Amino acid sequence: MKKTTLMAALMVAIPTMASAGGSKADTDNFTDNWPTHHVFDDGTDVGLALKYQYDVDRFANDDGRLADAQTNRRKELGFYVKKKDVYDATVVYDFQARTWLDTYLRVQSKALLGKDVGAFRIGFSKTPVGFEGNTSTGATTFLEAALPTQAIYANRRIGVDWAWERPHYLVNAGYYTGGDLNGGSDGRMVAARFAWVPHNQPGDVIHLGVSASEESPAGTTDGRDIYMPPTARLRANPEAGLAARLVDSGNLAPTGHIDRAGLEGLWIRGPWSIQGEYLHAAVTLDGARPNYDASGYYAFASWVVTGESRPYSSGNVGNIKPKGPYGALELAIRYSELDLDDSPILGGHERDWTLGANWYINRHLKLQVNYVHVQSDRRGLSVDPNVVEARAQIQF
The pLDDT value recorded for residue 64 is 87
Q: Considering only CA atoms, which of 347, 348, 351, 340 is closest in space to residue 373?
A: 351
Task: Give the global pTM.
Answer: 0.90
Question: Which residues have CB under 8 Å from 335's CB, separation 6+?
Answer: 298, 299, 300, 351, 352, 353, 354
The pLDDT value recorded for residue 51 is 97
- Assign 3-class secondary structure to 76-87: EEEEEEEECCCE
CA distances from 133 to 127, 147, 154, 304, 396 (A): 9, 11, 8, 22, 21
More confident residue, 65 or 372: 372
Q: Is the pLDDT of residue 23 over 50?
A: no
Q: Which long-range contacts (CB under 8 A, 24 or more apart) does 87-95 make?
A: 87/17, 87/111, 89/10, 89/13, 89/14, 89/17, 90/14, 90/49, 91/10, 91/11, 91/14, 92/49
Residue 313 β-bridge partners: 316
Once rounded to an integer, what is the mean pLDDT over residues 310-315? 96
Could you give the CA distance from residue 275 to residue 279 in angstroms, rounded to a whole number? 14
203-227 pLDDT, tens digit per residue, is 999 999 999 999 999 987 767 878 8
More confident residue, 13 or 175: 175
More confident residue, 298 or 11: 298
Mean pLDDT for all residues in the chain: 91
Give the whole-number percent of the chain exceeding pLDDT 90: 83
Once rounded to an integer, what is the mean pLDDT over residues 182-189? 91
Residue 176 β-bridge partners: 159, 189
Q: Is the pLDDT of residue 254 over 80?
A: yes
Q: Is the pLDDT of residue 19 over 50?
A: no
| Environment class of 158 (CB within 10 Å of its CB; exposed 0-12, middle 13-18, buried 19+) | buried
Confidence category of residue 9, pLDDT binned at 50, 70, 90: low
Terminal Cα distance for the chain, rounded: 32
The pLDDT value recorded for residue 174 is 98
The pLDDT value recorded for residue 5 is 54
Q: Is the pLDDT of residue 280 over 90?
A: yes
Q: Is the pLDDT of residue 193 over 90?
A: yes
316-368 pLDDT, tens digit per residue, is 999 999 999 999 999 999 999 999 999 899 999 999 999 999 999 999 999 99
